[in-house]
Each structure stands twice: as C-alpha cells, then as structure tokens.
Homo-oligomer: A and B are copies of this chain.
C-alpha cells in the first residue's frame, strides 16, 4: 500500500511505557513522522528514554512536548489521560489530531473531549497488541505489525475531521497495523470479552492457587506446565494499567463477568452430578471455536501473548 510519508510532521507521545515507546520506535523506523517529542511523568523514565534515544525531544512537561505537534498520542494508564490532557490542552495546535492507545474507549473519549480545546480532532484509538512487560525499555518497533488498531472516531462528518481520521489510520498503517473503525461502546464490550475478562480470570486463578494451604507455592510453580503457566504469564501484566482498565470499563466487565459466573456454576453443577454428556458437548463446541480462530488467520505458530522483539 502506497503511503505518503511522513504522515505527520511532529508527533508527541505523552506517557512512554511499553506501548508509548513502541509507538516511538515504530514511528521512527517507518518514517511515519518527521520528529518525535516524548514526555513521561517519571524523571527516571525520562532519563531512560533520553538514554535510549527514542525521541528528538524529551520534555519535562507535557505542554512542551505537545507544542506544535500535529499528532498527540496519550499512552498513560487510562485513568491518567484526562489529567494529562488538561495539563497540555493549552499548548495544542489547531487542527492537531489527538489520540490515545488505551484499552478502554468510551471513558477515554469522554475525558479527552472534556479536556481538549475546540479546533483539534479527537480520534481515540486502541492497538490490540502488547506483552506482559512494562516500561520504555520493553517496547519494540514491530509490536504493531499485523495487529489490529481500533479507531473509535466521534460522530462527526465534516471534511476536516474525516481527513484527520484518515491520516491517523495512515499513521497506524505505516506502523504495520490493520485499521478498524468501531463505535466506542461496542469496542468496550468486545474488549471486555476478548481481553478484560481473560485477564481478570487469569489474575484470579493465580491468586486462588497462591492461597491454597495444602498445596505449596513451590508445587504450584513446579507443576505449572499443566495449563497454569499460561495464566501466570497473563497475570504478570502491568498492575496499574489493568487496575485502570477494570475501573473504567466497569459496566461491560461486570456484565460479561456475570454471564461467565452463571456459566461456570452450570459447569460446576454438571461436574457434581456427573453429567458427562453436558461436559463433552461444551468441550467439543469450544474446540470448533478454536478452529475458527485459526481460520480467521489470527493464529501463528506462536501464541500472541508474550510476543517477542523482532517477531
């Protein structure tokens, strides 16, 4: 696909952990932007970011990074986005595209629209990509290759806004991602199912196992090849990021969690009463779903979580 590069002149990244630093590296490697400014609230992180040479400018304030930026991407934990946007709203250029990478969209969209000045184009986004690592050293340029980026544009039909959405889409295409557009509430429900609930379950099961008195922590770890290990990997994800996700996507998460628990109780009942056919039916059905995942082309030789650099 032919893209007109660079897509944006100056990119500002606010918050530079795994995702923010991967955006920086990806933008650099692809030539999607001409210049990059990064701000992170942590002085130690700013030092690391500078040392790693991730940006042309590493700024002490968000406003300094955002000055003259054509694209601003907020990559802080989702509950910090509102405050981060308020802190630099005054420096935002007219016509700038304001976006993010948060795993929850309705709450973030609301926070950005409340904080940003008129005259900018707020186009929230969420790249479906990540590893269980954290911090600016963990990022890599290829993180978004062949991954979906979901944009949840506002319901605006004016040419300037539509063009802004397209430019943001082009930016993400340059980073190797596949762009999808979606209603923000629908996004939050889909992600509650495919990501938030799985993480909650993984966190829970690791906690439950750790509390067993008769089974030692060492035994759990030793024999964790039996399925448990995959859960520990998911449950090692960044605690702050995930706390924020559950608190901001509360309604969708509680809805799907309610259904999950009902279904689990039905399974528990089938086990207690020895209803083998019911169990076999469910397990056969889920095997077919797995085959569907492979056919949808979302499966490679490696599981997605724990994607490694250079992959």
Task: Annotate A248-261 by CB proximity to B: 1 below 8 A, 0 otherwise.
Answer: 00100110110111
Whether the Cβ atoms of A286 and B220 lie closer than 8 Å is no
Q: Encode A116-143 as 1/0 by CB contact (under 8 A) with B.
A: 0000000000001110100000000000
> Quick one: closest B residue to A304, CB to CB?
B225
Q: By the criterion CB–CB under 8 Å, are A208 and B290 in contact? A: no
A interface secondary structure, majority = helix
A257 surroundings in chain B (CB, below 8 A): 264, 268, 271
Choose from B132, B189, B274, B292 the contact partner of A221 (Cβ within 8 Å).
Answer: B292
The one of B201, B215, B284, B292 that contacts A193, using a Cβ cutoff of 8 Å: B215
Contact of A225 among B147, B244, B264, B290 (CB under 8 A): B147
Q: Is the CB of A210 within 8 A of B246?
A: no
**Taking A242-B279, A283-B239 as contacts, is the C-beta distance between A293 and B208 under 8 angstroms?**
no
Would B227 and A202 count as touching, CB distance under 8 A?
yes
Tell me if A205 counts as interface (CB < 8 A to partner B).
Answer: yes
Bound complex: CA of A271 vs CA of B232, how far in Å?
Answer: 21
Of residues 215 through 236 on chain A, the ones whose CB sits less than 8 Å from some CB of chain B are: 215, 217-236
CA–CA, A283 and B217, complex, Å: 17
Bound CA span A197–B224, Å: 12
Interface flags for A273-303 (1: CB within 8 Å of B; 0: not) read: 0101001101111110111110010110111
For this chain, the copies found in one complex come to 2
Q: Is the Cβ of A227 less than 8 Å from the Cβ of B222?
A: no
The answer to whether A298 touches B253, judged by C-beta atoms less than 8 angstroms apart, is no
Contact A283 B148 (CB under 8 A): no
Does A91 reach chain B (CB closer than 8 Å)? no
B224 touches A194 (CB 8 A): yes
Q: Which of B147, B259, B268 contacts A211 (CB 8 A)?
A: B259
A233 touches B290 (CB 8 A): yes
Contact A304 B246 (CB under 8 A): no
> CB within 8 Å of B: which of A177-218?
186, 189-191, 193-195, 197-212, 214-215, 217-218
Chain B nearest CB: distance from A285 CB in Å?
7
Given A203-B286, A205-B260, 11 more pairs with CB closer than 8 A? A129-B225, A193-B212, A194-B224, A198-B226, A201-B205, A208-B256, A227-B305, A243-B276, A244-B276, A254-B268, A261-B261
